[in-house]
Chain A
Amino acid sequence: MFKKRLLTYSGCHHPPPVRDAPALEVEDLCAQYERSGVAALRDIGLRVERGERVALVGPNGAGKSTLLKVVANLLPMRSGRAAIFGHPVGTCHHRVSFLPQRSELDWRFPVNVERLITAGRYVHMGWLRRPASADRELVARSIELLQLDHLRERQIGDLSGGQQQRAILARTLVQNAELLLLDEPLNAVDARTRGIITDVLVRLKEEGKTVLMATHDIGRLESDFDQAVFLVDGRQVDGPPNQPPPGILS
């Protein structure tokens, strides 16, 4: 126990989920941009049951990415509450996987596709450990699933936009987390990548994973998601189930 505690990145033991707690519960959540102090999210309330797929829908600047980042513990809450499997955010690192927007990575850094994807296993390895054969096997499976086999040795900077998106999604999957936070995975990708990612989302549903995904794509809300949360200017707006309020994306 002491050894495990010592080696985890967070410095504490990974707690088990609280019984019957939802995958994510957010109450009266407010957040602000640190530099400007401008409110980014106001009074957000949200409950995501285990195994649900929830879409965060809204125009640019609505607060979709900010909400995902608060849940991922990248941005602080100003007030309110957010719990993941019954625990405060930031205590279940191994259960939460985050897919950032592509522009947030330094793609010029010398790392190949396989190494980038292997980083998804780091949370389970912790300090000082190197990937074991089980980790490598999961990485190989994820590479195959995202159809990146022929690119595994390629530098991440030499990939196309769609390939980059698939590579970071593979990293998100390889973490084997129970709650996946996906920030616009279908944004600006080619048709082939869109098809592959859509298949992956279906597979995640079959595996009972919980997905919270920011998206602009309102065409497939009903077929691809169990619930949709609509945001405008950092506020949650009500809409008919799985139907965005008129003009929300205009």
Chain B
Amino acid sequence: MSWLLDPFHYPFMRMGFLAVFFVGITCATIGVYVVLRRMAFIGDALAHTVLPGIVIAYFYGWNLFWGALAAGLITALGIGWLSRRQELREDTAIGVMFTGMFALGILMMSTVRSFRDFQAILFGNVLGITPANVVLLAVVAVLVLGVLFVLFKEMELVSYDPNFAAVIGLKTESLRYVLLVLLAFTVVSGIQAVGVVLTSALLITPAAAASLLTDRLPRMMLLSSGFAVLGGVAGLYISYYFPVSSGASIVLACTVIFGVAYALRAIRSRRSSREQQAG
């Protein structure tokens, strides 16, 4: 049992566990909408487009979180604006913003002498997270989950029948912007844990695993959060006991959970088709 408790003797591990908890539940809950509304590309794009904001914040000595958040919000609103009248398909708008902002980030990074300064941002460093950043992650979690809870019935309706939602007076465009802005907050908090390159995995993989096991939206969100926290904790243990990257371990642990969920789903489908044949 002592191997389970050992990591908790270290403050950086305690902070890490708290961080993956907050990041996990936030990413996994909004991730359900990302998966169901087929917005996976947006999550990936947002994670990459925060780069110029981070580099600017680094240049001026600001907190990188706020730089990333500013760039994330610009991207989210830019995607919404470019595709608002369907003159451009949403995935095309994302492609334009994604590559443009990422290229700007790389261009700005190339003016810095050492890439190592940005390593934590690119690949995540949850074990180096400060108590102040954990508080920020908690605030983001409360904000995102609070808004999703308050707007639950409206977000649900607009996700599967936007026309009916508009007929009863809901501003479907505004709700889309709300979701994009929440996504920007979520992605920026995810970057603290697993970095720019792997954040979209935290959004998508636990939610995709949950969607294989249940067809109730609230249950899917709870299950997805559970998977993300489980993957985060497992990843931290792996990186504690083996000299491997914490971000990659967390994502791989989530991928294993997805594999198990996929296998369970396959077994369940086979069993039910066998029962149908017998019946």
Binding site for B on A (CB under 8 A): 8-10, 34-35, 69, 72-74, 90, 93-94, 96-98, 100, 104-112, 115, 119, 122-123, 127-128, 130, 155-157, 171, 175
With contacts A34-B85, A104-B163, A119-B161 known, is A111 near B168, CB below 8 A? no
The yes or no answer to B147 lying at the interface (CB within 8 A) is: no
Question: Closest A-chain residue to B211, C-beta based?
Answer: A110
Q: Closest Cβ of chain B: how far from A157's Cβ, in Å? A: 8
Q: 1/0 per residue B12-43: CB within 8 Å of A?
A: 00000000000000000000000010000000
Whether the Cβ atoms of A72 and B156 lie closer than 8 Å is no
Question: Closest B-chain residue to A69, C-beta based?
Answer: B163
Whether the Cβ atoms of A93 and B159 lie closer than 8 Å is no
Question: Closest B-chain residue to A158, C-beta based?
Answer: B215
Give chain A residues whose Cβ lies under 8 Å from the Cβ of B163: 69, 72, 74, 98, 100, 104
Give chain A residues whose Cβ lies under 8 Å from the Cβ of B156: 109, 111, 115
Give chain B residues whose Cβ lies under 8 Å from the Cβ of A155: 215
The yes or no answer to B8 lying at the interface (CB within 8 A) is: no
- How far is B38's CA from A106's CA once the two chains are assembled, in angstroms? 11
Question: Closest A-chain residue to B166, C-beta based?
Answer: A74
Can you pick out 20 interface pairs between chain A and chain B where the beta carbons lie within 8 Å of each other? A8-B169, A34-B86, A72-B167, A73-B167, A74-B166, A90-B169, A96-B167, A104-B161, A104-B163, A105-B161, A105-B164, A109-B36, A110-B215, A111-B217, A122-B154, A122-B157, A123-B168, A130-B153, A157-B215, A171-B164
Question: Closest A-chain residue to B85, C-beta based?
Answer: A34
- How far is B171's CA from A108's CA once the two chains are assembled, in angstroms? 23
Give chain A residues whose Cβ lies under 8 Å from the Cβ of B86: 34-35
- How far is B164's CA from A115's CA once the two chains are assembled, in angstroms? 14
Residue from A69, A106, A171 having most chain B Cβ neighbours under 10 A? A106
Whether the Cβ atoms of B161 and A74 lie closer than 8 Å is no
Whether the Cβ atoms of A73 and B166 lie closer than 8 Å is yes
Give chain A residues whose Cβ lies under 8 Å from the Cβ of B59: none
Picked from B157, B169, B214, the residue with its CB within 8 Å of the CB of A119 is B157
Interface size grouping (class) on chain B: 20 to 34
Question: Closest A-chain residue to B161, C-beta based?
Answer: A105
Give chain B residues whose Cβ lies under 8 Å from the Cβ of A107: 160
The yes or no answer to B170 lying at the interface (CB within 8 A) is: yes
Task: Decide if the interface of chain A is mainly helix, strand, loop or mixed.
Answer: loop
Give chain B residues whose Cβ lies under 8 Å from the Cβ of A122: 153-154, 157, 168
- How far is B36's CA from A80's CA once the two chains are assembled, in angstroms? 39
Whether the Cβ atoms of B164 and A100 lie closer than 8 Å is yes
Picked from A69, A72, A106, A130, the residue with its CB within 8 Å of the CB of B160 is A106
Give chain B residues whose Cβ lies under 8 Å from the Cβ of A127: 154
Residue from A9, A10, A104 having most chain B Cβ neighbours under 10 A? A9
Chain B 211-235 residues near chain A, CB threshold 8 A: 211, 214-217, 220
Whether the Cβ atoms of B216 and A110 lie closer than 8 Å is yes
Q: Closest Cβ of chain B: how far from A212's Cβ, in Å? A: 13
With contacts A111-B217, A128-B150 known, is A105 near B167, CB below 8 A? no
Give chain A residues whose Cβ lies under 8 Å from the Cβ of B166: 73-74
With contacts A109-B36, A110-B217 known, is A98 near B167, CB below 8 A? yes
- How far is B167's CA from A115's CA once the two chains are assembled, in angstroms? 18
Q: Closest Cβ of chain B: how far from A135's Cβ, in Å? A: 12
The yes or no answer to B87 lying at the interface (CB within 8 A) is: yes
Q: Closest Cβ of chain A: how far from B128's Cβ, in Å? A: 38
Whether the Cβ atoms of A111 and B167 lie closer than 8 Å is no
- How far is B158's CA from A109's CA once the two chains are assembled, in angstroms? 11
Q: Closest Cβ of chain A: how far from B25's Cβ, in Å? A: 19
Whether the Cβ atoms of A100 and B161 lie closer than 8 Å is yes
- How far is B161's CA from A69's CA once the two chains are assembled, in angstroms? 14
Q: Closest Cβ of chain B: how far from A131's Cβ, in Å? A: 9
Question: Closest B-chain residue to A127, C-beta based?
Answer: B154
Question: Closest A-chain residue to B38, C-beta based?
Answer: A106
Picked from B36, B169, B214, the residue with its CB within 8 Å of the CB of A93 is B169
Give chain A residues whose Cβ lies under 8 Å from the Cβ of B153: 119, 122, 130
Whether the Cβ atoms of A111 and B160 lie closer than 8 Å is yes
Whether the Cβ atoms of A106 and B170 lie closer than 8 Å is no
Give chain B residues whose Cβ lies under 8 Å from the Cβ of A72: 163, 167
Chain B 197-251 residues near chain A, CB threshold 8 A: 211, 214-217, 220
Picked from B36, B170, B214, B217, the residue with its CB within 8 Å of the CB of A9 is B170
Give chain B residues whose Cβ lies under 8 Å from the Cβ of A109: 36, 156, 159-160
- How far is B36's CA from A34's CA once the two chains are assembled, in angstroms? 27
Whether the Cβ atoms of A110 and B169 lie closer than 8 Å is no
Give chain B residues whose Cβ lies under 8 Å from the Cβ of A10: 169
Q: Closest Cβ of chain A: how far from B31's Cβ, in Å? A: 14
Question: Closest B-chain residue to A9, C-beta based?
Answer: B169
- How far is B166's CA from A10's CA once the two chains are assembled, in angstroms? 10
